[in-house]
Amino acid sequence: MNDQSLPNQSPRVHDMGKFDDRSSRRASLIALTLAFSPLLLLGGACKEHYVVGDHVWVEWEGNDYPAVIMEVEGPAQYRVHYDGYDSIWDESVNITKIKGRVTLPVVPPPPPSKVLRRGGAPISSSSAGDGGALSRYNQGQRVRVRWHGKVYPATIIEVLGEERYRIHYEGFGPEWDETIKGSRIKAPR
């Protein structure tokens, strides 16, 4: 029996034991697909992972804005607070919207049009019109807090006013969250 008598035989093997060009390409394609399939399945596996308190750039309304990771909602989903903006603008974002970590100095773009339409502006903006002093620390910032003579790591979960903060102690349940004065906060971590 020779090669010619089996037209549907695939892949065809010639006398020298090699695949013909078409079969060889098909085998190479299958090998490449199998080799890279774990990467295709993982998709964004090479993306950086972020934790609560990380300062990152987030794509928001067509520009990149500095923000703080407030909560990790899933393997690729984060709740963020935009630096200088009211908490009404906090949102959940996919990791594809996070463009990397913030490195100083930070010069954010102008407020998005939806913020301006609503009459808002960044708190740090001179056009904010509140006239009040800015807080030293931001929502989502990781700090060290004095409590009964010891210092504990914590995250600011809300800025309540000038030098008043609601904090969450890391490693403790929400029942330990408390409102503190800025004087109890040691230098940020």
List every span in the chain annotated with CATH 2.30.30: 55-128, 142-186
Inter-residue contact 13 to 1 (CB < 8 Å): no
Question: Against a cut of 0.75, is the pTM above it?
Answer: no
CATH assignment, 55-128? 2.30.30
**pLDDT digit string, tens, across residues 67-109:** 889 899 999 999 998 887 877 888 999 999 999 988 767 777 8
Paired tokens of 55? 């300062």
Within a 10 A sphere around the Cβ of 23, how many other Cβ atoms? 14
Unique residue bearing structure tokens 């890279």: 36
Which ranges in the chain belong to alpha helices (H)? 21-42, 113-117
Q: Fold for domain 142-186?
A: SH3 type barrels. (2.30.30)
Q: Of all residues in the chain, what percent carry a pLDDT higher than 90?
A: 21
